[in-house]
Amino acid sequence: MSTLSEPPKASFRLSQLIYDTRYRSLTIQVIASILIALGLAWLINNTIVNLDNLGKDIKFDFLGSQAGYDINQRLIEYDSQDTHARAAIVGILNTLLVAFLGCIAATIIGVTAGVLRLSKNWLISKLMTVYVEGFRNVPLLLWILLIFALMTEGMPQPRDFRGDEPAATMSLGDNVAVTNRGIYIPRIGFNNSIGAEAAEPVSDGEDTPPPGSSGVDWLLVLGVLFASFFGQRYVKQRADGIQEDTGLRPTTWYLRLGILIIPTAIVMFVLGAQVVSPYLKGFNFTEGVHLRNSLIALWFALSLYTGAFIAEIVRSGIMAVSKGQSEAAFALGMRPNWTMNLVILPQALRVIIPPLISQYLNLTKNSSLALAVGYMDVRSTLGGITINQTGRELEGMLLLGLFYLVLSLLISGVMNIYNNSVKLQER
């Protein structure tokens, strides 16, 4: 007879916290969180004591006080009497603008250069190599400064357009002026504008000022355009339906084109749309849309620099597609450009997109170098002049950091959704 020994009692001993793998991870996490909390408390405590010593406090009410400085490029109404908060928003919009334009241009440049670098044309592939290596290996800041200087030195100043035999003339039938202060392009004004003030009649022989435009006008035009876009899509869907049912596709292109153009054209006509070209007045060109040199230089530099990186990504993406794919496409009798567009690029995209996202993020963050050319982005307004005038560096930098963080997370979030949608669906 043997008595069964009792199973070991599952009592908890303190040493299990260290030796038992079940509890050890818990122990480590608790210790880690205590250390992290202590570290944060230490930093915050230091900050409070230091601020106290300097007689400062943390307050965000400086955002509500008058900014006092002017901003040249503003996408919303702003003048020096507005608040620092509004100045910050003007800066944010400027950052978003250049980042958006930059991402698009960088993609176009990058894909072109990446494909051309693989071209059979010796000269062009070597030139593209020079471009890619040149931009990748020299700091962006230097490129921004060089391109900015090139544009200021290389283009005519507005006063060169003056006189009987001007040193420079406007291009595209006197509609576009390329100067070293930026490019002036025509804008559209509305004679019967809804929101804008009517042009005041001028008495003493001066030209009447050109018609203005307001947000309401544009909202109306874009709204109609948007509606007609959906209209033509409906026509297309119906045509698709008919094709599926009967096998015959009704010809709809003229209908769709008509729906797309005619309503908008009518609205424009009713509003009295008119192209307003820039012209020289006083020191500068007036009217038209002024794309400032700072914007163009920053935009060019950012997109050329990022484009060089994208070119490398595209090149390696294309090379990652196995040669059999293009050979198969050729065997099917596809032309080289079809092969590229229909076979290679779609497959290469899957390799290209993840690093492309991080390049977009880099471009957005690099747009903060705007202050090198005096482009008033959020770092120059909120993180620059505002901090400098109010002495609120802690609060200002905090807001600035937060903005960039949220923007980065947003971009990577959106791009990741896109990436997941084009990703190879594995079984």
Partner 1 sequence: MSDTHAQTVAYVRDTMLAESAPPLAEKGAVKWFRENLFSSPVNVLLTIVSLFVLFLVLRLVLPWLTNAVWDANSLSECREILAAKGLGSHDGACLAVIKDRWHQLMFGFYPSHLYWRPVLAFVLFLVAIMPVLFSWVPRQALYLTAAAPFLGYWLVWGGSIWGIVFVALAIVIGYAVFRALEGVNGILATVGAILVPIIYLLYAAGPLAGQVNDILPIGIEAVKSNQLGGFTLAIIIGLAGIVLSLPLGILLALGRQSDLFIIKTFSVIFIEVIRGVPLIVWLFTASLLLNYFLPPGTNFDLVLRVIIMVTLFSAAYIAEVVRGGLAALPTGQYEAADALGLDYPKSMRLIVLPQALKISIPGIVNTFIGLFKDTTLVVFIGLSDPIGFTNLIRANTDWNGIYWELFGFVGLVFFILCFSMGRYSLWLERQLQREHR
Partner 2 sequence: MKHSVLLGAITVAGFTAGAAAADTLGDVQERGTLNCGVTTGLVGFAAPDANGEWEGFDVGVCRAVAAAVLGDASAVNFVTTTGQTRFTALASGEIDMLARNTTWTFSRDTDLAFEFVGINYYDGQGFMIPRELGVSSAKDLDGATVCIQTGTTTELNLADFFRTNNISYEPVPIETNAEAQQQYLAGACDVYTTDASGLAATRASFESPDEHMLLPEIISKEPLGPLVRHGDHEWGDIVRWTLNALIAAEELGVSSANIADLGAAAGENPEVNRLLGTEGELGSYMGLDADWAARAIAAGGNYGELFEKNIGENTPIGLARGLNAQWTDGGLLYSPPFR
The residue ranges that bind partner 1 (CB under 8 A) are 18, 24-25, 28-29, 32-33, 36, 43, 46-47, 49-51, 53, 116, 119-124, 127, 133-134, 136-142, 145-146, 149, 361, 365-366, 368-369, 371, 379, 383, 387, 393-394, 397, 400-401, 404-405, 407-409
What's the gap between Cα 175 and its chain centre? Answer: 27
Please identify, using beta-carbon distances, which residue of 124 and 149 lies nearer to partner 2. 149
Which residues neighbour 287 within 8 Å (Cβ) at sequence distance 6 or greater? 187, 210, 276, 277, 278, 279
Please identify, using beta-carbon distances, which residue of 198 and 410 lies nearer to partner 1. 410
Minimum gap (Å) between residue 174 Cβ and partner 2? 20
Binding site partner of 70, from partner 1, partner 2, none, Cβ cut-off 5-8 A by kind = partner 2
Please identify, using beta-carbon distances, which residue of 138 and 257 lies nearer to partner 1. 138
**CA atoms of 153 and 146, how far apart (whole Å):** 10
Minimum gap (Å) between residue 216 Cβ and partner 2? 24
Please identify, using beta-carbon distances, which residue of 76 and 265 lies nearer to partner 2. 76
Binding site partner of 341, from partner 2, partner 1, none, Cβ cut-off 5-8 A by kind = none
Which residues neighbour 263 within 8 Å (Cβ) at sequence distance 6 or greater? 224, 227, 228
**CA atoms of 270 and 177, how far apart (whole Å):** 29
**CA atoms of 137 and 122, how far apart (whole Å):** 22
The binding site for partner 2 (CB under 8 A) comprises 53-55, 68-72, 79-81, 145, 149, 152-153, 157-160, 180-181, 281-284, 286, 293-294, 371-372, 374, 376, 380, 384-385, 387-389, 391, 393
Please calculate the CA angle 281-183-302 and round it to the nearest 5 degrees. Answer: 150
Binding site partner of 141, from partner 1, partner 2, none, Cβ cut-off 5-8 A by kind = partner 1
Strand partners, 187: 276
Binding site partner of 369, from partner 2, partner 1, none, Cβ cut-off 5-8 A by kind = partner 1
Please identify, using beta-carbon distances, which residue of 62 and 404 lies nearer to partner 1. 404
**CA atoms of 127 and 424, how far apart (whole Å):** 34
Burial of 185 (0-12, 13-18, 19+ CB in 10 A): middle
Binding site partner of 400, from partner 2, partner 1, none, Cβ cut-off 5-8 A by kind = partner 1
**Six-digit token string for 182:** 């930026």
Please identify, using beta-carbon distances, which residue of 29 and 66 lies nearer to partner 1. 29
Minimum gap (Å) between residue 397 Cβ and partner 2? 11
What's the gap between Cα 209 and its chain centre? Answer: 34
Q: How many CB atoms are located within 10 Å of the residue 155 CB?
A: 16
Minimum gap (Å) between residue 382 Cβ and partner 2? 13
Please identify, using beta-carbon distances, which residue of 389 and 419 lies nearer to partner 2. 389
Binding site partner of 55, from partner 2, partner 1, none, Cβ cut-off 5-8 A by kind = partner 2
Please identify, using beta-carbon distances, which residue of 69 and 218 lies nearer to partner 2. 69
Binding site partner of 72, from partner 2, partner 1, none, Cβ cut-off 5-8 A by kind = partner 2
Binding site partner of 230, from partner 1, partner 2, none, Cβ cut-off 5-8 A by kind = none
Helical H segments across 291-392, by residue range: 293-320, 323-331, 336-338, 345-366, 378-380, 387-390
**Six-digit token string for 42:** 């230490």
Which residues neighbour 145 within 8 Å (Cβ) at sequence distance 6 or greater? 372, 373
